[in-house]
């Protein structure tokens, strides 16, 4: 395992296989670590009801939770009428990733993001790529308790340009994410969120005050697909995308193309038109290749020809920044200038191999390329 700083980076697989004491010692002084599993911290975005019931307002499920019960995400628990987050600070995975892995293609290309996750999610995609984290309860996984400031300082030591909230669904650890993002900003780091977008407006707007970029996994473009294969709803995700635009947050979209389920020309065209008309042409859209995973093992990987067709539909609709994901070496991973057609960023997998920009403009013709470059 190679990293920018071997003292500050630990792969997810290695993290699960090592002792927590040694894992924490790589990054943090003993004073910032602790054995807090299941102790929790009081949640935000909830209200107390009669008979010690509580109602969560963090995500669109709006769970009403009885005493000793938990919400659908399994990480928020009612203790005698007070709601607790069981994953505040309980980091189950951390790694210094290329920002392109998130993927962000128009945000600090070639830099790294200190990526963290806890257990849990508020939906259950049948094709979940990180189910070992996302579809687990807090007590099912080892974790290291990391205070927000200490995590931000660790990211600096790792040489990261940003902290990324990723791997599982960051919405379910919103309190920790907001606090960590604020601490990270104080020492000059950016903050990026990799999310399903299934979040209520109030916490999302609070989050927007301390973050710089947000990547939304748009699972499909029909309510029936969301209901059957995601265990969620489409409308709140579209609402989140609209809020991100209103708040001025740099946004990119990933659409995992699942063969026979969400890959029709009609659905992809409708999605691209919605992005163009509601969010604007500057939003990059990544069509990502599906691989059989979790509970959806009966389908083959997405044919590359299907991804290329989706790319053509997006461009025909009028989106200038359309990409193919999970296809290393394909030219669909490069960024081209819409004005002159020349490559401004070349990529192989998660690696930037060519950069032909001057500040935020094409080095050839001077046309402005939207994004966050410095």
The mean predicted confidence, pLDDT, of the chain is 91
Helix axes 265-274, 304-317, angle to 10 degrees: 40
CB 370 within 8 A of CB 282: yes
- On the question of pLDDT at 11 being above 80, the answer is no
Instruction: List residues bridging with 162 in a β-sheet.
Output: 113, 190
- Pairing relation of β-strands 93-98 and 90-91? unpaired
Could you tell me the pLDDT band of residue 98, with boundaries at 50, 70 and 90?
very high
HEC profile of 71-118: CCCCCEEEECCEEEECCCCEECEEEEEEHHHCCCCCECCCCEEEEEEC
Q: CA-to-CA distance for 311 and 317, rounded, in angstroms? A: 10
| Per-residue pLDDT, 114 | 98
Could you tell me the pLDDT band of residue 38, with boundaries at 50, 70 and 90?
low
Q: CA-to-CA distance for 199 and 215, rounded, in angstroms? A: 13
For residue 23, give the 3-state DSSP assignment: helix
| Per-residue pLDDT, 27 | 44
| Per-residue pLDDT, 33 | 42
- On the question of pLDDT at 129 being above 80, the answer is yes
CB 210 within 8 A of CB 178: yes
Of 18-27, 209-218, 252-261, the one with minimum mean pLDDT is 18-27
Q: CA-to-CA distance for 334 and 349, rounded, in angstroms? A: 10
User: Can you name the CATH fold of 90-334?
Assistant: TIM Barrel (3.20.20)
- On the question of pLDDT at 42 being above 50, the answer is yes
- On the question of pLDDT at 182 being above 60, the answer is yes
Q: What is the mean pLDDT of residues 316-327?
A: 97
- On the question of pLDDT at 277 being above 90, the answer is yes
- Report percent pLDDT > 70 for the chain: 90
* pLDDT per residue as tens digits for the range 237-276: 999 999 999 999 999 999 999 999 999 999 999 999 999 9
Q: CA-to-CA distance for 324 and 287, rounded, in angstroms? A: 5
Alpha helices (runs of H) in 114-263, residue ranges in sequence order: 131-134, 148-157, 174-186, 201-208, 223-225, 234-247
Tell whether pTM > 0.85. yes
Q: Could you state, in order of their start, the residue ranges of all structural domains in the chain?
A: 41-85, 90-334, 335-364
Alpha helices (runs of H) in 140-220, residue ranges in sequence order: 148-157, 174-186, 201-208
CB 109 within 8 A of CB 352: yes
Could you tell me which of 272, 208, 281 has the C-alpha nearest to residue 246?
Answer: 208
Q: CA-to-CA distance for 279 and 218, rounded, in angstroms? A: 14
| Per-residue pLDDT, 39 | 79
Instruction: List residues bridging with 117 in a β-sheet.
Output: 93
Total residue length of the chain: 374
- Pairing relation of β-strands 46-48 and 357-358? unpaired
Helix axes 234-247, 201-208, angle to 10 degrees: 30
Could you tell me which of 3, 127, 124, 131 has the C-alpha nearest to residue 73?
Answer: 124
Q: CA-to-CA distance for 209 and 273, rounded, in angstroms? A: 29
157 phi, psi to nearest 5 deg: -60, -30
| Per-residue pLDDT, 36 | 53
CB 237 within 8 A of CB 195: no
């Amino acid at each position: 395992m190679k990293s920018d700083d071997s003292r500050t980076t630990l792969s997810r697989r290695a993290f699960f296989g090592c002792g927590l004491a040694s894992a924490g010692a790589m990054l943090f002084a003993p004073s910032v670590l602790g054995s807090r599993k299941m102790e929790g911290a009081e949640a935000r975005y909830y209200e107390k009801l009669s008979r010690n019931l509580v109602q969560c307002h963090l995500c669109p499920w709006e769970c009403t939770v009885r005493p000793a019960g938990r919400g659908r995400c399994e990480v928020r628990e009612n203790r005698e009428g007070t709601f607790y987050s069981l994953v505040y600070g309980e980091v189950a995975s951390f790694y210094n990733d290329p920002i392109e892995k998130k993927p962000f293609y128009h945000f600090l290309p070639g830099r790294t993001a200190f990526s963290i996750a806890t257990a849990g999610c508020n939906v259950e995609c049948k094709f979940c790529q990180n189910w070992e984290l996302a579809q687990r309860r807090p007590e099912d996984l080892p974790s290291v308790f990391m205070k927000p400031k200490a995590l931000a300082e660790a990211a600096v030591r790792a040489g990261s340009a940003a902290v990324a909230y990723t791997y599982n669904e960051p919405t379910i650890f919103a309190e920790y994410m907001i606090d960590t993002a604020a601490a990270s900003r104080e020492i000059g780091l950016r903050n990026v969120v990799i999310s399903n977008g299934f979040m209520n407006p109030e916490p999302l707007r609070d989050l927007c005050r301390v973050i710089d970029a947000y990547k939304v996994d748009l699972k499909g473009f029909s309510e029936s697909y969301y209901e059957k294969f995601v265990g969620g709803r489409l409308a709140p995700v579209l609402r989140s995308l609209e809020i991100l635009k209103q708040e001025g947050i740099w946004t990119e979209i990933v659409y995992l193309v699942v063969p026979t389920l969400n890959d029709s020309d009609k659905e992809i065209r409708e999605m691209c038109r919605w992005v163009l008309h509601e969010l604007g042409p500057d939003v990059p859209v990544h069509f990502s290749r599906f691989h059989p995973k979790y509970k959806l093992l009966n389908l083959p990987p997405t044919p590359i020809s299907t991804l290329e067709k989706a790319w053509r539909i997006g461009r025909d609709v009028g989106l200038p920044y359309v990409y193919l994901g999970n296809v290393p070496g394909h030219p669909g991973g490069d960024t081209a200038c819409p004005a002159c057609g020349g490559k401004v960023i070349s990529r192989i997998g998660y690696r930037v191999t060519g950069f032909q920009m001057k500040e935020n403009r094409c080095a050839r013709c001077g046309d402005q390329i939207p994004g966050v470059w410095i």
